[in-house]
């Protein structure tokens, strides 16, 4: 079966611009989570969506937002980009959420570079 698909794979943006990243979860999965990975901070949780509702949110400024559509596809948006937003953004899908038995499947990520 198809895995988690993230688009685009690579992105270069200028400081102050905004960006939208896309994630298509595994068919049937209803939970989509987003993580930011940087060399300095490691892997940090951004937010989780389940059935179009944000269920959990990490400690990121309001410039980071997301949404989930009725087909479970998710997008995250970062407005007013800063150099520190350069990172690998990972999406993970799960059948119902990380309730142990189900686990998460990650996509390959979108590498965002802000210049």
Partner 1 sequence: GDSVTQMEGPVTLSEEAFLTINCTYTATGYPSLFWYVQYPGEGLQLLLKATKADDKGSNKGFEATYRKETTSFHLEKGSVQVSDSAVYFCALSVDFGNEKLTFGTGTRLTIIP
Q: How many residues bind partner 1 (CB under 8 A)?
A: 28
- The correct pick among 11, 65, 86, 98 for binding partner 1 (CB under 8 A) is 98
Beta-bridged to residue 78, according to DSSP, are 19, 64
Coil, helix or strand at residue 85: helix
Q: What is the sign of the dihedral through the CA atoms of 43, 47, 49 and 52?
A: negative
Cβ of residue 115: shortest distance to partner 1, in angstroms?
21
Identify residues 4-63 at the interface with partner 1 (CB under 8 A).
Answer: 4, 6, 31, 33, 35, 42-43, 45, 48, 50, 55-56, 58
Continuous segment of H or E residues that includes residue 36: strand 31-38
CA–CA distance, 68 with 3 (Å, rounded to integer) = 18
Cβ of residue 15: shortest distance to partner 1, in angstroms?
25
Both tokens of residue 69?
A: 């559509």
- The correct pick among 23, 94, 112, 114 for binding partner 1 (CB under 8 A) is 94
CA–CA distance, 109 with 62 (Å, rounded to integer) = 21
Question: Is 109 near partner 1 (CB under 8 A)?
Answer: yes
Cβ of residue 16: shortest distance to partner 1, in angstroms?
28
Which C-beta is closer to partner 1: that of 46 or that of 114? Answer: 46
């Amino acid at each position: 079966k198809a895995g988690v698909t993230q688009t685009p794979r690579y992105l270069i943006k200028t400081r102050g611009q905004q960006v939208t990243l896309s994630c298509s979860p595994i068919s049937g999965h209803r939970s989509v989570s987003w993580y930011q990975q940087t060399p300095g901070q490691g892997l940090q949780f951004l937010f989780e969506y389940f059935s179009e509702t944000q269920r959990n949110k990490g400690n990121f400024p309001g410039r980071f937002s997301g949404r989930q559509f009725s087909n479970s596809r998710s997008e995250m948006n970062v407005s007013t980009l800063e150099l520190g937003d350069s990172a690998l953004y990972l999406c993970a899908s799960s059948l119902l959420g990380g309730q142990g038995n189900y686990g998460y499947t990650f996509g390959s990520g979108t590498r965002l570079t802000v210049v």
